[in-house]
Amino acid sequence: MGAVHSSSLALSTDPRFVPVTSTLPPCVSKVSKSKSNSSLFGRTRREDKILGPPVSIFTSTVAQNSIFSESLPLKCARFEMGTKNDEVAGKPTLGFVEIDQDLVDKMVYDALVWSSLHGLVVGDRNVKISGKVPGVGLVHAPFALLPISFPESHFREACELAPIFNELVDRVSLDGKFLQYSLSRTKKVDAFTSRLLDIHSKMMESNKKYEIRLGLHRSDYMLDEQTKSLLQIELNTISSSFPGLSCLVSELHRSLLNHYGETLGLDPRRIPANAAVSRYAEALAKAWIEFNNPKAAVLVVVQMEERNMYDQHWLCSVLRERHNVRSIRKTLAEIDAEAKLQPDGTLLVGGVPVAVIYFRAGYTPNDYPSESEWRARLLMEESAAIKCPSISYHLAGTKKIQQELAKPNVLERFLDNKEDIAKVRKCFAGLWSLEDPDIIGKAIESPELFVMKPQREGGGNNIYDGNVRETLLRLQREGTEEDAAYILMQRIFPTISPTTLIRDGICYKDHAVSELGVYGAYLRNKENLIVNEQCGYLMRTKTSSSNEGGVAAGFAVLDSLYLT
């Protein structure tokens, strides 16, 4: 394709790793050196949560930062060293094995152009200023070349769950005592959750009413290969990311299949429509209308540096262009410095009243380096603005609450419809507190079947395999309350598929696992339910590549679905 020449570069004799540098001659010569310690966004974000530590055959030094909310070292998928890759899994048409290299090169080139023209971009982690100043240091967001095949029935299942989870979060949020009680042991050992609970307590004491409630959630799932069941990884009730870029990746894949689908035997219509960004914007706009102040704006709470800013800007752009609602971006520290509460509870930022506070920061302890940020969080919670999320919504999304809800007869306290309860229960993986001696025994015996998850958000701290056993034994020995900082979760073994992934303009062929996120929007006022819907989806695909040194350089990319 034009000035881009082809040249093949053999990096490894390991058949699992097939680097493809043909479209991009000068960029990176070795995967091992290709920023192996960095991730998509180089920060610990909710959406960029941890991979397991280096315990698999793809020994990893990189597991810290990834766009994956969750995953397992690739070992988990029972991918064996000797297995012939191409037979492992996945629809062959979407894999890389049988697609002609020239065709791949053309598609990669077209995809890179498409991304540049259509705003599928992030800040380049190699350009320092790219997380602060828009318009500079741009690079295409990492993406999979083709959508990942996914059973239509499971996709529907996930979509149908969205409004149920929306409702569940709302009901749980109203039961302050349940939240406080469930998190009481966690509070003792986790300072971050403790501070959130303090704010929550204050709100309960002041008897604060949350009459207009807005939730923009994302529930993340993996498909367990063995049981063929859709299992929930986590429910994000704060800062659900990628509503903007996920739509674009679906469009990118549709565009590629429009042009190459016939050759590939793939039908672009099998990529489901993805309206995440417009639905999220619509929900924000409807909340803004409920607030009923034409001069008010949406306050977007952001991190100091945000290389994923264009995802956020897409949402704000739709909000403004389509709904004529303007937004203001501020960090927690800026809000502490600039925001004021009027006697009637109106939050003013730079003199502008705030209708809705939309958090794209504040979910990790890192976002609160000083008391200033906590003051800002409290001030916002005390204000009359609609919080997305409120402190209760935020707490309802914690892992501990996820685990509590999985206990027998707990869902029944919050949901009325038996079918809904059954659907939710079906997607729960095994979830246990460390107060259960039976399960502790099982996990020590077969640690490979469990993941230990710390309550603390923004992670990199999930514990796998031998470390599960070690940690559990240590906690038993020490007998402190540190056990309350963890939950145990059934380990999910997702399908591994051969995938073509593009990052920094470089094309990699590797095996990868995928995680599906389904967006949900919920809005109600005192009298009525206004919005309760599934909004779209996010597919993320994560690879792990070994090199000569045996050190893995795993990274995650944005993807979409091909329904099968």
Catalytic-residue membership of 474: no
Catalytic-residue membership of 525: no
- Phi, psi at 547, each rounded to 5°: -130, -170
Minimum distance, C-beta of residue 426 to a copy of itself, in the bound complex (Å): 39
How far apart, in whole angstroms, are the C-alpha atoms of residue 39 and residue 417?
42
Q: Crossing angle of helices 191-205/371-382, nearest 10°?
A: 30
Task: Provide the mask over 66-105, with x wherever binding to a copy of itself is found by CB under 8 A and - wherever it is not.
Answer: ----------------------------------------
User: What DSSP string runs through 508-555?
Assistant: EEEEEEEEEEEEEEEEE-SS-EEEEEEEEEEEEEEE----TTS-B--E
Task: Provide the mask over 12-51, with x wherever binding to a copy of itself is found by CB under 8 A and - wherever it is not.
Answer: -----------xxxxx------------------------
Which helix or strand (DSSP H or E) is residue 490 part of? strand 486-490
CA–centroid distance for 154 within its chain: 19
The reply to whether 421 sits near a copy of itself by the rule CB under 8 A is no
The reply to whether 113 sits near a copy of itself by the rule CB under 8 A is yes
Minimum distance, C-beta of residue 251 to a copy of itself, in the bound complex (Å): 11
Minimum distance, C-beta of residue 310 to a copy of itself, in the bound complex (Å): 6
The reply to whether 139 sits near a copy of itself by the rule CB under 8 A is yes
Identified binder of a copy of itself from the candidate list 15, 134, 294, 369, rule CB under 8 A: 134
Identified binder of a copy of itself from the candidate list 81, 82, 117, 205, rule CB under 8 A: 117
From residue 483, alpha-carbon distances to 156, 197, 260, 364, 456 in Å are 37, 19, 53, 20, 13
Catalytic-residue membership of 293: no
Q: Are strands 450-454 and 386-388 parallel, antiparallel or unpaired?
A: unpaired
303 annotated among ligand-binding-site residues:
no
Residue of 457, 497, 514, 536 marked active site: 457
Residue of 453, 469, 503, 524 marked active site: 453
Instruction: Give the 3-state secondary structure of residue 15.
Output: coil
How far apart, in whole angstroms, are the C-alpha atoms of residue 126 and residue 137?
8
Question: Distance between terminal CA atoms of the chain?
Answer: 32
Catalytic-residue membership of 330: no
Q: Crossing angle of helices 309-323/276-291, nearest 10°?
A: 60
Residue of 458, 517, 520, 554 marked active site: 458
Determine contact, residues 532/2, Cβ cutoff 8 Å.
Answer: no
The reply to whether 129 sits near a copy of itself by the rule CB under 8 A is yes
Catalytic-residue membership of 241: yes
User: What DSSP string runs through 297-364?
Assistant: EEEEE--SS-TTHHHHHHHHHHHHHHH---EEEE-HHHHHHHEEE-TTS-EEETTEEEEEEEESS-SS
Minimum distance, C-beta of residue 115 to a copy of itself, in the bound complex (Å): 5
From residue 414, alpha-carbon distances to 2, 175, 513 in Å are 60, 9, 33
Which helix or strand (DSSP H or E) is residue 159 part of? helix 152-174
Contacts for 222 with CB less than 8 Å, ≥ 6 apart: 70, 71, 230, 231, 233, 492, 494, 513, 514, 515, 516
How far apart, in whole angstroms, are the C-alpha atoms of residue 120 and residue 258?
18
Kindly identify the residues of this chain, within the stretch 324-343, that bind a copy of itself according to CB under 8 A: 326, 328-331, 334
Residue of 399, 400, 469, 509 marked active site: 399
Minimum distance, C-beta of residue 511 to a copy of itself, in the bound complex (Å): 24
The reply to whether 8 sits near a copy of itself by the rule CB under 8 A is no
Minimum distance, C-beta of residue 313 to a copy of itself, in the bound complex (Å): 5
Catalytic-residue membership of 457: yes
The reply to whether 395 sits near a copy of itself by the rule CB under 8 A is no
489 annotated among ligand-binding-site residues:
yes
Residues that contact a copy of itself, how many (by CB under 8 A): 55
Identified binder of a copy of itself from the candidate list 9, 14, 87, 118, rule CB under 8 A: 118
**Residue placing its CB nearer to a copy of itself in the complex, 210 or 310:** 310
101 annotated among ligand-binding-site residues:
no
Identify the burial level of 448 via C-beta atoms within 10 angstroms of its C-beta, where 0-12 means exposed, 13-18 middle and 19 or more buried.
middle
User: In this structure, what token pair is assigned to residue 384?
Assistant: 């009359």
Identified binder of a copy of itself from the candidate list 317, 366, 467, 490, rule CB under 8 A: 317
397 annotated among ligand-binding-site residues:
no
366 annotated among ligand-binding-site residues:
no
Minimum distance, C-beta of residue 118 to a copy of itself, in the bound complex (Å): 6
Cα–Cα nearest to 396, from 306, 285, 500, 520 = 520
The reply to whether 199 sits near a copy of itself by the rule CB under 8 A is no
How far apart, in whole angstroms, are the C-alpha atoms of residue 378 and residue 389?
13
**Residue placing its CB nearer to a copy of itself in the complex, 121 or 556:** 121
How far apart, in whole angstroms, are the C-alpha atoms of residue 180 and residue 175?
9
362 annotated among ligand-binding-site residues:
yes
Task: Provide the mask over 269-308, with x wherever binding to a copy of itself is found by CB under 8 A and - wherever it is not.
Answer: -------------------------------x-xxxxx--
Catalytic-residue membership of 540: yes
How far apart, in whole angstroms, are the C-alpha atoms of residue 187 and residue 180?
9
413 annotated among ligand-binding-site residues:
no
The reply to whether 259 sits near a copy of itself by the rule CB under 8 A is yes
Catalytic-residue membership of 45: no
Identified binder of a copy of itself from the candidate list 74, 89, 107, 121, rule CB under 8 A: 121
How far apart, in whole angstroms, are the C-alpha atoms of residue 15 and residue 85?
8
The reply to whether 4 sits near a copy of itself by the rule CB under 8 A is yes
Catalytic-residue membership of 234: yes
DSSP letter at 59?
-
Identified binder of a copy of itself from the candidate list 19, 73, 137, 554, rule CB under 8 A: 137
**Residue placing its CB nearer to a copy of itself in the complex, 159 or 502:** 502
Residue of 70, 167, 234, 373 marked active site: 234
- Positive or negative torsion for Cα 51, 52, 54, 57: negative
Determine contact, residues 36/60, Cβ cutoff 8 Å.
Answer: no
Binding residues for a copy of itself (CB under 8 A): 1-4, 23-27, 109, 111-119, 121, 124, 128-129, 132-140, 255, 259, 300, 302-306, 310, 313-314, 317, 320-321, 326, 328-331, 334, 502, 504-505
Q: Active-site residues: which are they? A: 218, 234, 236, 241, 399, 453, 457-458, 540
